[in-house]
Amino acid sequence: MDETKGHQCRIVYHPAYNVTAFGLERLHPFDGQKYRRIHDALVARGLRRPRDFLRPRPVGRRDLVKLHTPAYLDSLRRPDVLAGVLEVPIVGRLPGWVIDWRILRPMRFATGGTILACRLALEHGIAVNLGGGYHHAASAWGAGFCVYADVPLAVMLLHDEGNVGRVLVVDLDAHQGNGTAAVFHGWDWASIYDLYERDIFPARKEPEDFPLPVGPGLTGAEYLGIVRDTLPGALDAVRPDLVVYNAGSDPFVGDPLARYRLTQADLAERDLLVVTTARERGIPVAMVLSGGYSSESWRIHADAIEGILTRFDRV
């Protein structure tokens, strides 16, 4: 029996998303436990019951090699390679099996979650994966705590199956989605709209269809104005069969790795704006959470998802 059949918005989550590596995960500002915190907040607020979350399977090598090169996937067995991708040097001293079980396995589950969320969005209109959004990973490389290119892989699988024609990724993480953009270079059916801070990581920016590089200090009103003014045009130009929304929380004023000045309320308004603008055009939306490095990241996402559920959910 489908316990979620009364909800338009599907939410994908697995406890295996959470990254624990004997405390070493705390050496990176990314909160590897925020997925559980978001899940628990949605339950505590009465928005979902524990059984309402849809659990994905982890992506396997059979699907990963459809996008990633075998050489890159093989290189992930080397601790020194993973230490560079994750930006945690001490990871290079861990045994390979520990890295795979405690770090890569959660990311494979989250990548499976993105694939499932995209499928559910096509079926139900809106789906949220409480993980994923590894937009610094490309076919042959990873960086910035991003190992698997989950969004490109998900849309490629759907396109190859004939379930989508054109896809637009809306990337509002504070950092450019260089990995996603690099993968999309050879795909005339996939486009990316990307509003990012121009002078922070990554140093080398990739060409994009709708790039919006902006300097530091952007306020919520300025940021939301840019999205309102430019996103409808991108949607109307591409006319996608699916929008994948990369909803990074790092434009938050308290984020240590970016310099925008958005409040929690601004970010909730941003996410609702993106979903509403797409849904008004009848376009399905799959949302992934991507980056966010403040202690409030989980709360920002929980508030934003609550706003989306309040506007779109039906019980």
Comparing CA positions, the residue from 117, 112, 111 lying closest to residue 133 is: 111
Instruction: Burial-class residue 154 by CB neighbours within 10 Å (0-12, 13-18, 19+).
Output: buried
The end-to-end CA distance of the chain, in Å, is 16
Average pLDDT over residues 227-245: 98
pLDDT at residue 4 tops 60: no
Percent of the chain with pLDDT strictly greater than 90: 83
How far, in Å, CA of 200 to CA of 63, rounded?
32
> For residue 313, which of 11, 80, 95 has the smallest C-alpha distance?
11
Q: Average pLDDT in the 240-267 region?
A: 97
Its CATH architecture, for the domain 9-312, is 3-Layer(aba) Sandwich (3.40)
190-223 burial, b for 16+ CB within 10 Å, e for fewer? bbbbbbbbeeebeeeebebbbbbebeeebebeeb
Per the model's pLDDT, the better-predicted residue between 83 and 290 turns out to be 290
| Cross-strand pairs, 211 | 194
Question: What are the tens digits of pLDDT across the range 65-88?
Answer: 999 999 999 999 888 888 888 877
Task: Supply the mean pLDDT for the chain.
Answer: 92
Tokens coding 5 = 């059949």
Residue 82 CB neighbours (<10 A): 22
Token reading at 135 = 């937009």
Average pLDDT over residues 149-159: 98
Pair of tokens at residue 72? 């890159």
* Length of the chain in terms of residues written: 315
Query: In the prediction, which pLDDT does 314 show?
Result: 73
d(CA 210, CA 243): 14
The mean pLDDT value for 257-283 works out to 97
Q: Quick check: is 68 catalytic?
A: no
What is the residue whose two structure tokens read 């004997």? Answer: 22
According to the model, what pLDDT value does residue 82 have? 82
**Does the pLDDT value for residue 155 go beyond 80?**
yes
Which has the higher per-residue pLDDT, 81 or 135?
Answer: 135
Catalytic residue among 39, 68, 135, 136: 136
Is-contact 41 302, C-beta < 8 A? yes
Residue 28 has pLDDT above 60, yes or no: no
Per residue in 89-104, pLDDT tens? Answer: 666 666 666 778 778 9
* Residue 22 confidence class, pLDDT cut points 50, 70, 90: very low
pLDDT above 70 covers a percentage of the chain that reads 91
